[in-house]
Amino acid sequence: MPSTRSVPDTHKKRHAQNSVGGNCGGRQLASSSTRYASGLSALTTDEPDPNAFARAIAAEAAAVDAGFALLFFSQSLVDAAALAQALKVHAPSLAYAGCSTAGEITPQGLEEGHALALLLPSASFSTVSTMVENLSSSGMDGITGEVVELRRLLRCRAGQERAKSIFALCFIDGLSYAEEAVTSAIHWGLDDIPLIGGSAGDDLKFETTSLISNGKVTSDSAIIVLVATEIPFHVFKTDNFIPTDEKLVVTSSDPDHRIVREFNATNAAEEYAASVGTVAQALTPLSFASHPVVVKVAGEYYCRSIQRMHVDGSLSFFCAIDDGVVLSIAQPKNMVEATRAALQDAERKLGGIDMILGFDCVLRRLDARNRQVYRDISELYRTNKVIGFGTYGEQYRSMHLNQTFTGIAFGERQAAE
């Protein structure tokens, strides 16, 4: 079980379990730190003080001898550039990578308006990373080449034994329209290394996301992280939708901007609305979260979720779309039970779970609210020690997905001393 230490906090709500950031204007920060058996350590805060959070990260990194940190944060709480500057001042030797979010998963469950850090101890993890900038003009062959070079570098740093067990993470600008190409390019360079990740969000504003890595702050970028570890792990995904016989064929689209103008030679919003039993004027983000469409690839169905409706009745998607694509309206299963089954399966395969790093589509969060199971999902994540963030899309091996939870579960065994 993770260890959590407590101090009184009278200023903020009592989700706080440990004040890790000192004080801000005489007030205790509503922050928490949680250490796991594997040596991983999670810190969270809902205070808009990047310097205090950076000091807390530096102190915890020193305590657990962390060599790398993963950072996920709401832009409504903290500015990415301010956080990067604070880390430069307070934790100059700590390597890190991360992105902005559309909600967070903390050790206390689902949250919004938070920042969190996951510290990877050097005793158990070896890590290398790179940032690929200007995705709109980058060649995908170059990305594959960078992944191959990262693999070589990691094997040199990790040593032969640790390098036998590697996983890859990626964080991509969720407004770049490039996730499919980037995910595929990364996958080509990984050989048999499993890949998971999430698309950066901006609290459902759909304006600008932020990616940060070792002092750099950008958008239109992707971050690739390779991790070698002796800790056992299992990469998995889960969703809660099954296809129906109701088909929507894309007959007019703008693939570069993921916009569908027509389904079945009819206005896209009107045809979609009719298929789910409503009218176009009544469509909301909750409608799209509750009634996603799925596409069949290599015998398996994957969600292709709608982002929003435009005034002309066209629909923007979170995933790639093109003329001729055949989509099926999806029917929901029980989200709580489907998620619980996936977590139980991961636990069986590992013989016990220390913690889970998870990337959860923001539309699952909206759908959970709509179906009044938000608290149940939050509690399920809390009891299964899930931390991570709400995404604008998920990466799983070679695929970019929507309305899916992708995760990596770590076993309970500690690295040998």
Q: What is the pLDDT of residues 110-168, one digit of tens each?
A: 999 999 999 999 999 999 999 999 998 877 889 999 999 999 999 998 887 788 899 99
- Is the separation of the CB atoms in 111 and 30 below 8 Å? no
Q: Is the pTM of this model over 0.85?
A: yes
pLDDT > 90: what percent of the chain?
Answer: 79
Beta strands in 210-325 (DSSP E): 211-213, 216-218, 222-229, 233-238, 241-254, 259-263, 266-267, 293-297, 300-304, 306-309, 315-317
pLDDT per position as a tens digit, 176-188: 999 999 999 999 9
* Terminal C-alpha separation, the chain: 20
Q: pLDDT: is 193 or 10 the higher one?
A: 193
CB atoms within 10 A of CB 165: 15
pLDDT band at 285 (very low <50, low <70, confident <90, very high): confident
Helices (H), 277-333: 285-290
Distances (CA, A) of 143 to 109, 148, 170, 222, 406: 34, 9, 12, 10, 22
366 CA to centre of own chain: 15
φ and ψ of 370, to 5 deg: -60, -35
Structural domain boundaries of the chain? 1-238+333-417, 241-332
H/E segment holding residue 125:
strand 125-132
